[in-house]
């Protein structure tokens, strides 16, 4: 089981998004996602969040919220527990990322017109609703979301 973080950095009505187009082997190839990555030995979710955001963007977070845990179960990529954060305080200057291309995108554009994982649409809507801390399970067959559960209860997809 992999443990990762993902952060949606907010600037008004925009998210800082990462278009994953640079790595040869990437389960997120071609998709737009937030920023984050895998835990290193001994890291807490917050430690991983701060390190990964800085490494991928050059920004140091000054205000963030731990929003939920999303379990991905994939027939191709295995299982992952992703610790989901939002942040609205940061300092520093954006730099180029080795993971992809960074860009500020309108939140409604992210949901309606960017190529993102179908399950990401579910948790992005939960974030927009300011849902309290949640646990979301997303099961994929290839790139297709086949079922989802929120706080242990099946939801329509």
User: Can you tell me the distance from the alpha carbon of 68 to that of 85, in angstroms, rounded to the nearest whole number?
Assistant: 7
Residue 59, classed as helix, strand or coil, is: strand
CATH number, residue 104: 3.90.79.10
pLDDT at position 28: 74
pLDDT at 137: 98
pLDDT digits (tens, 9 = 90+) for 16-59: 999 987 767 667 767 899 999 999 999 999 999 999 999 999 99
DSSP string, 7-41: EEEEETTEEEEEE--S-SS-TTTT-EE-EEEEPPT
The whole-number pLDDT of residue 26 equals 65
Domain span at residue 6 reads 2-155
| Residue range 117-147, pLDDT digits in tens | 999 999 999 999 999 999 999 999 999 999 9
Number of domains in the chain: 1
Q: Which of 23, 22, 25, 48 is nearest to 35 (CA)?
A: 48
């Amino acid at each position: 089981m992999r443990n990762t973080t993902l952060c949606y950095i907010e600037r008004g009505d925009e998210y800082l998004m990462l278009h994953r187009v640079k790595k040869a082997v990437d389960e997120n190839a071609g998709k737009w996602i937030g920023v984050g990555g895998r835990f290193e030995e001994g890291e807490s979710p917050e430690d991983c969040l701060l390190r990964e955001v800085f490494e991928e963007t050059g920004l140091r977070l000054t205000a963030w919220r731990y929003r939920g845990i999303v379990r991905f179960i994939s027939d191709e990529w295995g299982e992952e527990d992703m610790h989901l954060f939002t942040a609205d305080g940061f300092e520093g200057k954006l730099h180029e990322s080795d993971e992809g291309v960074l860009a500020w995108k309108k939140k409604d554009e992210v949901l309606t017109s960017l190529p993102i994982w179908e399950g990401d649409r579910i948790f992005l809507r939960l974030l927009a609703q300011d849902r309290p801390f949640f646990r979301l399970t997303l099961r994929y067959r290839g790139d297709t979301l086949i079922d989802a559960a929120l706080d242990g209860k099946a939801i329509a997809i």
